[in-house]
Amino acid sequence: MSDVRFRVAVVGATGAVGREMLKTLEARDFPASEVVPMASARSAGMKLPYKGGEIQVQELTEDSFEGFDLALFSAGGSTSEKFAPIAARAGCVVVDNSSAWRMDDDTPLVVPEVNPHDLDWHKGIIANPNCSTIQMVVALKPLHDEATIKRVVVSTYQAVSGSGQKAMVELENQVRRLMSGQEAESEVYPHQIAFNCLPHIDSFLENEYTKEEMKMVNETVKIMGDESVKVTATTVRVPVFFGHSESVNIETAKKLTSAQARGILAQAPGVTVFDNPSENVYPMPVECAGQDDVFVGRIRVDDTIENGLNMWIVSDNIRKGAALNTVQIAETLIERNLVRVL
Ligand code: A2P
């Protein structure tokens, strides 16, 4: 990278993903001349740690983006719908974590290990995919390149941090209350999440799937750039704080042995193969939380179909599933000279 430095706005900086974005920018020594955290009026003036000091949260308004080069958003869909175009009109390149722009035809949906070339046609807004989709496509793309994936059947085990800070507090409080003989109180989720599994993430649609499930179906096709890949998903919230897990079954056009799949994944960018069952080695959220990579294990042949494989994919949903992927998109934009410095 050159010596050029960028003014960066982090919108939703007080949230679970926003805080991780600040940490990620710092840890990766992102070439920023200034990083400004933004959130709602409720948080204006709050101080957040950055590079050994503190930076002060500014209220997000329509005038917030003058003079910024990049705006990294994680403040929910309605905030992105309203403010991402305002930021883009002010000259910023926006990388947005919400679902607001993901399926928009004029908005690239990018995982840098998979489709960095899609950044080249951006019109000011780039969408960061859904967390469950990101970790799955990082692992599936190298297998697709080698053996052409025809069908994917995925079931997820998703951490509560994916629902934001309030959900983490809800799980913690419910565990405390239930362990001391009190009733669990639920606000974020429709049911108790402690000691439970909810086959319900985001709202239900007319086709009887949830929005989260259809995100995995539609986003995977857009990112892989291949409409022939069929995906069906069941998404489940589990009482884990950090790290989404996925049981993934794929059917390929060309046969792959488990050893071949392991070999391909071992070479793939952003993937660590963690697969030695005889030693009890396989990816688990408690180990993958706080790490950058997508971890794959339990790779084995599904012999109920001609060319089938099963695998278990785990990644930190707040890192690769959100903050890290967003920052990697910003880094790739810079590498490809796609940020206009104001
Ligand atoms: P605030 O803390 O001021 O409410 P999470 O997903 O962890 O709940 O975080 C959501 C983030 O989005 C927070 O930083 C929150 O700020 C921010 N946010 C939510 N609504 C708005 C809004 N209308 N304008 C600006 N920031 C918002």
pLDDT mean across residues, the chain: 97
Same domain assignment for residues 89 and 144: no
Radius of gyration of the chain measured on its C-alpha atoms? 20
* 202-220 pLDDT per residue, tens: 999 999 999 999 999 999 9
Helix %, strand %, coil % of the chain (to 5): 35, 25, 40
Same domain assignment for residues 49 and 74: yes
Q: How far apart are the first and last CA of the chain?
A: 18
Q: What is the mean pLDDT of residues 54-61?
A: 98
- Does ligand 1 lie within 6 Å of residue 12's CB atom? yes
Query: Is residue 340 in a domain?
Result: no
CATH of the domain at 22: 3.40.50.720
pLDDT over 60 (residue 1): no
Q: What is the mean pLDDT of residues 293-322?
A: 98
Counting residues of the chain whose pLDDT is more than 70, the rounded percentage is 99
Same domain assignment for residues 311 and 328: no
The sign of the CA dihedral 220, 15, 324, 294 is negative
**Structural domain total, the chain:** 2
Q: What is the mean pLDDT of residues 330-342?
A: 90
- Does ligand 1 lie within 6 Å of residue 18's CB atom? yes
- Does ligand 1 lie within 6 Å of residue 263's CB atom? no
Q: What is the mean pLDDT of residues 297-304?
A: 98
| Residue 276: exposure state from Cβ atoms within 10 A (0-12, 13-18, ≥19) | exposed
Catalytic residues: 131, 244
* 139-182 pLDDT per residue, tens: 999 999 999 999 999 999 999 999 999 999 999 999 999 999 99
Q: What is the mean pLDDT of residues 130-137?
A: 98
146 secondary structure, DSSP code: H
pLDDT over 90 (residue 340): no
Q: Are 194 and 175 in contact (CB under 8 A)?
A: yes
Same domain assignment for residues 205 and 235: yes
pLDDT class for 341, splitting at 50, 70, 90?
low
User: 16-27 and 324-335 helices cross at what angle (nearest 10)?
Assistant: 50
CA of 326 to the centre of ligand 1 (A): 17
Distance CA(323)–CA(317), nearest Å, equals 9
pLDDT the model gives residue 74: 98
Determine which residue's CA is closest to atom 18 belonging to ligand 1.
75
* Residue 155: C-alpha distances to residues 158, 229, 240, 264, 311 (Å): 10, 17, 16, 23, 11
Q: Are 269 and 172 in contact (CB under 8 A)?
A: no
- Does ligand 1 lie within 6 Å of residue 45's CB atom? no
- Does ligand 1 lie within 6 Å of residue 171's CB atom? no
pLDDT the model gives residue 62: 98
pLDDT over 90 (residue 32): yes
Q: Are 82 and 60 in contact (CB under 8 A)?
A: no
Atom of ligand 1 nearest to the CA of 42: 3
pLDDT the model gives residue 3: 82
Q: What is the mean pLDDT of residues 233-237?
A: 99
Residue with tokens 């002060």: 56
Same domain assignment for residues 258 and 176: yes
Range of the domain at 112: 6-129+322-335
pTM of the model: 0.97
- Does ligand 1 lie within 6 Å of residue 43's CB atom? yes
Q: Are 185 and 174 in contact (CB under 8 A)?
A: yes
Atom of ligand 1 nearest to the CA of 14: 14
Same domain assignment for residues 157 and 283: yes
Atom of ligand 1 nearest to the CA of 41: 3
CATH of the domain at 227: 3.30.360.10
CA of 40 to the centre of ligand 1 (A): 6
Distance CA(84)–CA(87), nearest Å, equals 5
Distance CA(142)–CA(265), nearest Å, equals 7
Same domain assignment for residues 102 and 10: yes
